[in-house]
Amino acid sequence: MADVVAENGAPRRGRPPVSGEQRRRQRLEISRHAVRLFAEQGVAATSGEQIARAAGVSERTFWRHFPHKESCVEPLLTRSVDAFCAVLRAWPAELDLIDHLRTAYQPVLDAGSDDDVEAVLAVVRLTHHEPALRAAYLMLRERDEDALAEVLAHRMALPADSIAVRVQAAAMSAVLKAATDDVAAATAGGITPEALEDHREHLARALSLVLRGLSDASSLMRER
């Protein structure tokens, strides 16, 4: 095993430290294998050992990344929310949200193929009959409201913890969840470009209704 240099400059033996990017990639790869196994044989019949073996990592590494096997879905689901937040951050001030989403929104951030999109939608479908995954999914959605609030706070020029921002973030999260549930059901037989285009359009229209009062709410809160 090669020598590595410790923080104090002294040589030491051992594996080089894993970078944050390497850790993220490894968690995502484990997540992909976990979702495939969950879909094939169910959550109860899938063990951490099986997931680790499929992903080519040790059980020790697997449990270091995830506190329980159900949490394996989080890296994939997080990519979906990250994609939406990225689009919101890039929303031009002069452009209507519906027009921006029509051209810029993708269901998964930096998806190189449809595989990760299908994996995310597979998780969503699984949550309807796997209670443990449903709980993990809903908890993640709740945490995602904080990310949405940060983006909206900048857009609305209000504190992220203000009631106007938090209500808008909760509403947007609910719309995103409903739209994702719909496209997951519609693509149970396979993803098509038409289905993803419909998803983008439905999401844009629903969010335009939710955010119709964004400017009014922002003005009202600043007057107080």
pLDDT surpasses 90 at 159: yes
pLDDT surpasses 80 at 163: yes
Query: What are the residue ranges of CATH 1.10.10.60 in the chain?
Result: 18-71
pLDDT surpasses 70 at 49: yes
- Report yes or no: 152 and 169 within 8 Å, Cβ to Cβ: yes
Q: Which fold does the domain 18-71 belong to in CATH?
A: Arc Repressor Mutant, subunit A (1.10.10)
Give the residue from 151, 156, 152, 145 showing the smallest Cα distance to 220.
156
pLDDT for 3: 47
Query: How far does CA 76 lie from the centroid of its chain?
Result: 6
Pick one of 1.10.10.10, 3.40.50.740, 3.40.50.720, 1.10.357.10 as the CATH number of 73-223: 1.10.357.10
Provide the H-helix boundaries in 90-213.
97-104, 114-126, 131-156, 163-186, 193-210
pLDDT surpasses 50 at 50: yes
pLDDT digits (tens, 9 = 90+) for 9-46: 555 555 555 678 889 999 999 999 999 999 999 999 99
Residue 82 class from Cβ within 10 Å (0-12 exposed, 13-18 middle, 19+ buried)? middle
- Report yes or no: 155 and 169 within 8 Å, Cβ to Cβ: no
The pair phi, psi for residue 11, each rounded to 5°, is -70, 145
For 143-175, the three-class secondary structure string (H helix, E strand, C coil) is HHHHHHHHHHHHHHCCCCCCHHHHHHHHHHHHH
pTM of the model: 0.76
pLDDT digits (tens, 9 = 90+) for 68-107: 999 999 998 888 888 888 888 888 888 887 888 888 888 8
The first and second tokens of residue 74, run together, are: 């989080």
Cα distance between residue 196 and residue 200, in whole Å: 6
pLDDT category at 148 given cuts 50, 70, 90 is confident
- Report yes or no: 168 and 146 within 8 Å, Cβ to Cβ: no
Cα distance between residue 217 and residue 192, in whole Å: 38
Query: What are the residue ranges of CATH 1.10.357.10 in the chain?
Result: 73-223
pLDDT for 48: 95
pLDDT for 6: 47
Q: What is each CA distance from 98 to 37, 93, 212, in whole angstroms? A: 37, 13, 11
Instruction: Report, as an integer, the average pLDDT of 141-149.
Output: 85
